[in-house]
């Protein structure tokens, strides 16, 4: 194949406002509820269960992990998201459905 003309397509900048809530995750720290502007390089992924990947960001203020729904993140951002430590090793673990129900009823 020949390249007739080299393209210089760049992905548009991506940003998302996210509230630091530590949503659905049990972690050492309490979330600080700051409003964050998340850019593509801020997204990380982590697995809690095998075959499951969760995307989110780590708050620069309190270091809490806040999960972001996968559908809210463009494919190219997810693709390059670095993996961070998974369950247990750093105090992060995802709440099970049962634990979630309990925390909602408090």
Which spans of this chain sit near Zn ion (rule: CB under 5 A)?
20, 32, 34, 59, 61-62, 64
Q: In angstroms, what is the minimal distance from the CB of 103 to Zn ion?
A: 18
CB of 18 to Zn ion, least distance (A): 10
Beta carbons within 8 Å of 60's beta carbon, 6+ residues apart: 36
Percent helix, strand and coil across the chain, each rounded to 5?
20, 25, 55
Maximal CA-CA distance, the chain: 64
- For Zn ion, the closer of residues 7 and 23 by Cβ is 23
Q: Between 27 and 74, whose beta carbon lies closer to Zn ion? A: 27
Contact 38, 51 (CB under 8 A): no
Pick between residue 74 and residue 95 the one whose CB is nearest to Zn ion.
95
CB of 22 to Zn ion, least distance (A): 8
């Amino acid at each position: 194949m020949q390249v007739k003309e080299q393209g210089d397509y760049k992905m548009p900048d991506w940003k998302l406002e996210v509230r630091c809530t530590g949503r659905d995750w049990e972690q050492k720290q309490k979330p600080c509820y700051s409003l964050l502007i998340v850019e593509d390089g801020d997204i990380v992924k982590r697995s809690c269960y095998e075959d499951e990947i969760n995307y989110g960001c780590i708050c620069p203020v309190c270091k809490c992990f806040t999960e972001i729904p996968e559908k809210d993140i463009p494919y190219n951002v997810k693709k390059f998201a670095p993996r961070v430590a998974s369950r247990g090793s750093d105090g992060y673990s995802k709440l099970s459905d049962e634990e979630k129900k309990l925390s909602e009823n408090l």
